[in-house]
Amino acid sequence: MLTRRQFLANSMLGAATLLIWPKLTFAATGSDTRFLFVLLRGGLDGLESVPPYGDPGYQAIRGALALSPSADKPAHKLDNVFALHPSFDHAAQLYAQGQFMPVVAAAPPYWGRSHFQAQDCVENGTAKPDGAQTGWLNRCIACMPGVDGLACAAVMPLTMRGNARVETWSPPLPNEVNPILLQRLQPLYAADARLAAPFARAVVQQSGASVPETETGLAAMQKGMPGRKRQGGLPVMMGAAGKFMGEADGPRVAFVEDDGWDTHANEAAIVTRKIAELDAGLKAFHDSIGARWDHTVVIVATEFGRTAHINGTGGTDHGTGGSMFLAGGALRGGRVAGKWPGIGSGELYQDRDVHATTDFRSVFKGVLAVHLGVPVSLLESRVFPGSAAAEPLDGLVAATRSVA
C-alpha cells in the first residue's frame, strides 16, 4: 500500500508510479488506454443533475427544484429536452468538445431502495446484493493480463476486491468531521434542550462561519453545512488518480468514491455544492492525467436515483432511475444517451420514480469491450455473470477494435 508520505514525495519527483507499477501494461495488452470508475454514494438525483426541462411534466412535478437554461442561474443547455446542473461548468465545456455525456434513466438491476443493497449490486456486478463476494472491476482487471488496479479509498471497496492485484491510496485524514455523521447525530442532540444549541454552534464553527447564540438545531446546521469547505474530497482523489494513471507505466484501471449524496432535505444547496465538487474533480483528473486524457474514459455512477416529487423538507427520497456520466478524450460524447421514459401521468415507476430504461451493466460493458478490449464473452461470463440480457451499448467510445 502506498503511504501518504511516499505519495507526497513521489508527486514532487513526478515519478510515483515508477516505484509501484510493473512495466507490463503496454507490452502485455497491446494498448495504453485508461479507465476510471467513480462511485457517488448516497443516491444522486438524476432530475436535478440532468434536468429534463423540455419534458412537459417537469416544471409541475419538481416545483422549487426545477432547473432550466432560462432560469436566473441557468442550467447548461444540452438540447431541446435536457440540460446540465449549473454547477457543471467544466463538464459543460467537455460536452461541447464531445468529451462528456450523461446517460439518463439508468439504474443497476436492483430496483430496491436500500443504500447498502443497491451499492452492493453496483459494485459486485450482479442483480442481487449477495450475488458475488468479489467486485466486477477486480474481475475485469483479472481478464487483462499484466494489468493492476488502483483504488483511491481508505478501505478496499467491494468493486475492487478479488484475485487481481489492486493497490490503494488515500490522502491524509482531514481534521473535520464527516458531514453525514453530523447529520445523523443532529436529531439526537436536537432532542436535548441543553445540548442542541452547543452542538449546532460546533457544527457551524467547523465551517468557519459564525452563528448567533439564538440559532439552534437543524436551522443552524443547515446554514453552516452546505457552504462549508471540505478538505480532500473528489478534487483531491480524482487528481491523485489522474497523476498515477498519467504515468507511462501507471495503472490502467482505477476507482474513486465519494459520499454525501443523500438529499432527503435541503437538496438544492447540497446538490449545488456536491456537483461543484464533482465538476472540480473532473477538471483535476483531466489536468493531472495530461496527454493520456485522449486515451481515457471515465464513468460516474450512483446507486439509485431519487423520487420525482419533492418531499416536505425540500428534498427527495430514494428512487430508481437516475443519471450516469461518461467523460474522457476517448469518448464519443457531446450527446445525451439513454431512452427517456417521461415523467408525466402514468409514466413514473410505482407512480413515484423515473422509470429506468438502461441497465448500468450495458454502459459498463459497452466501454470495457471497446475501450479496454475485454471480450464480450468474458464480460458476460466472468465480469457481469448473468447479464446476457443487458447488451453492451454501442458507440460510446470513439476508437473501435474487434473483440471475441
Burial class (CB in 10 A: 0-12, 13-18, 19+), 108: buried
pLDDT digits (tens, 9 = 90+) for 52-80: 999 999 999 999 999 999 999 999 999 99
**Residue 319 has what pLDDT?**
97
Percent of the chain whose predicted confidence (pLDDT) is above 90: 73
Degrees to nearest 5, angle at CA 318 with 154 and 117: 50
Is the predicted pLDDT of residue 8 greater than 50, yes or no? no
pLDDT given at position 185 = 77
Q: In what order do the strands lie in the sheet with 253-258?
A: 166-169, 149-152, 253-258, 34-40, 296-302, 322-327, 100-107, 358-359
CA-CA-CA-CA torsion sign (305, 310, 316, 319): negative
Question: Which pLDDT belongs to residue 192?
Answer: 74
pLDDT at 273: 97
State mean pLDDT over 224-251: 78
Q: Enter the pTM of the model.
A: 0.80
Residue 20 banded pLDDT, cuts 50, 70, 90: very low
Q: Would you state the pLDDT for residue 128?
A: 95
Cα dihedral 46/51/55/61 (nearest 10)? 70
- What is the predicted pLDDT for the residue at 402? 34
Cell 495504453 belongs to which residue? 32
Q: Which of 110, 137, 111, 106 is nearest to 124 (CA)?
A: 137
From the list 77, 78, 82, 85, the residue with the least C-alpha distance to 44 is: 85
* Whole-angstrom distance, CA of residue 80 vs CA of residue 306: 23
Express each pLDDT in 157-171 by its tens digit: 999 999 999 999 988
pLDDT digits (tens, 9 = 90+) for 385-402: 999 999 999 999 985 443
6 pLDDT above the threshold of 80: no
Q: Percent of the chain, pLDDT > 70?
A: 80
Of 13-17, 79-83, 229-233, the one with minimum mean pLDDT is 13-17
pLDDT given for residue 32 in this prediction: 86
Check pLDDT > 80 for residue 15.
Answer: no
Mean pLDDT of the chain: 85
Q: Is a pLDDT exceeding 70 seen at residue 214?
A: no
Q: Is the pLDDT of residue 203 over 70?
A: no
